[in-house]
Amino acid sequence: MGISIFGLGYVGCVSLGCLAKNGHNVIGVDISETKVGQINAGKATIIEKDVNEIIAGERAAGRISATTDGISAVINSDISIVAVGTPSTDKGHLDLQYIFRVAENIGEALKKKTSFHIIAIRSTIMPGTCDKFADIVEKISEKKRNVDFAIVDNPEFLREGTAVHDYFNPPLTLIGSDNRKAAETIAELYKQLPAEIIITELKIAEIMKYINNTYHALKISFANEIGNICTEVGVDSFKVMDIFCKDKHLNISPYYFKPGFAFGGSCLPKDLKGLQTLAHDMYVEVPVIDSINKTNEIQIQRAVKFIYKYWNKKLGFLGLSFKAGTDDLRNSPTVTVIEALLGKGCDITIYDKNINLAVLTGTNKEYIDSRIPHLATLLTNDSEQLINDCDVIIINTKEPEFLRLVDKLKGKIIVDFVRLDESLLDKNNYFGINW
Among all residues, which ones are annotated catalytic?
A: 267
Amino acid letter for position 331? N
Rounded CA-CA distance 413/391 in Å is 6
Rounded CA-CA distance 42/57 in Å is 8
Strand ranges of the sheet holding 2-6, from the earlier edge strand across to the other edge: 64-67, 25-29, 2-6, 79-82, 117-121, 149-153, 173-177, 197-200
Residue 243 CB burial class (10 angstroms; 0-12, 13-18, ≥19): exposed
Which residues on adjacent β-strands are paired with residue 120?
81, 152
Q: What is the largest CA-CA distance in the chain?
A: 72
Determine which helix (DSSP H) or strand (DSSP E) holds 4, and give its type and residue range: strand 2-6
Question: Do residues 186 and 154 touch, judged by C-beta distance below 8 A?
Answer: yes
Contacts of residue 188, defined as CB under 8 A and 6 or more positions apart, other chains included, come to 1
Residue 359 CB burial class (10 angstroms; 0-12, 13-18, ≥19): middle
Helix (H, G, I), strand (E, B) or coil at 273: helix
Rounded CA-CA distance 137/365 in Å is 32
Question: Do residues 94 and 88 touch, judged by C-beta distance below 8 A?
Answer: yes
Between strands 149-153 and 173-177, the pairing is: antiparallel
Determine which helix (DSSP H) or strand (DSSP E) holds 130, and give its type and residue range: helix 129-141
Half-sphere CA count of 312, side-chain side, radius 13 A = 0
Strand ranges of the sheet holding 347-351, from the earlier edge strand across to the other edge: 347-351, 314-318, 392-395, 413-416, 430-432
Amino acid letter for position 34? T
Amino acid letter for position 250? L
